[in-house]
Copies of this chain bind each other. A is one copy, B any other.
């Protein structure tokens, strides 16, 4: 039985801006940083506290919580047809080491607020509804990111991902066991359990909504990305004595690579995204010519041909400026541009119009768990503005009313899809 426009408007009205904001503030206490952000890397004690709070909220709502083999959490509100595959929304509670209060957390909390609104508006759906907290979206402590959703849709990658060693030497399997020991007895969700649809709310992390005065972004898809790990090998020597002509200086070579790669990626249209975010020199002593550098490359571009051609030139450009050093370029992740479902996009657009929220279509520059979910069910995303487009930064900020507007769109979209 389809819900009426009146039902959906009533649901939107039941979304409580103040309650949603308070949930954000409470969640942001776990891993709070002096600059107002959060450091809540995947399955650290702070992330585990955040997960336990989510479970308490679910219990308060009378919802069941299940967990799958990679630690993704599913908060379920039963529909009238409990056998039908559910509709889901959600995102992730983990953060970058110097992250903000909204990246990820918003998508989960908008889902919880939706559950409160469904309860308060006394709306019963046909399909069940689930709110998901995906494990390790950020990929800081454990690489790669969007790991939880990736394993959920491709279960044969479970074993490899559980063996990933974090920056602190702990494996994913060990970190996960730490969480499971604290969460207590819960139901197990099978990997690749069927879903009839997925929609994720997120801050935009770019300035286009703000620049155009829109509040809702109807996301058309996620741009493709290629990630690399580069190792530059030189030779350690005494910095006061070894003649310059005989040195193999890995920091000098790597610095030339960073500069040359930025020249390669220069884009007058400013659509290409290129970043060297990790740059580690060994042994890292001031008086030692550095013998080795490892750096990361994150390269994204909506144009598939361009991404193919430029990405394939990275190793060659590094070699050209390596001088006496050796260089090894390893591609560790690769994703094509993912288009979202047209039907879901239309439901989102209708929901925004129903509450008179100015909206625009846009492509996501960032990867999200929705990219993986799009492989198994009709999927879409809802963006809201963040101040200055700044994210992955402790000063990341969003307004209570924009957060509520996005939650109203999510609630209507999920409810309409759940019927």
Contacts and interface: CB of A to CB of B under 8 A. Distances in A.
20 contacts: A96-B285, A98-B282, A98-B291, A138-B287, A143-B286, A204-B241, A205-B242, A207-B246, A235-B393, A238-B392, A241-B389, A242-B390, A242-B391, A249-B275, A259-B259, A275-B290, A277-B288, A285-B392, A287-B392, A289-B392
Interface of A: 96-98, 103, 138-140, 143, 145, 204-207, 223, 225, 227, 235-246, 249, 251-252, 254-256, 258-259, 262, 267, 270, 272-291, 293, 295-298, 300, 364-367, 389-394
A273 B239 contact: yes
A89 to B, nearest CB: 21
Consensus secondary structure, chain A interface: loop
Of residues A204, A277, A393, which shows the largest number of chain B Cβ atoms within 10 Å of its Cβ? Answer: A277
Contacts of A237: 389-393
Nearest to A366: B240
Q: How many copies of the shown chain assemble into the complex?
A: 2
Closest 5 CB pairs of A and B: A239-B275, A241-B365, A206-B241, A255-B258, A286-B296
Contacts of A283: 96-98, 140, 277
- Which of A223, A255, A279 neighbours the largest number of chain B CB atoms within 10 Å of its CB? A255
Given A281-B279, A285-B138, A252 B258 contact: yes
Contact of A281 (B235, B238, B277, B288): B277
A239 B270 contact: no
A284 B97 contact: yes
A165 B281 CA distance: 21
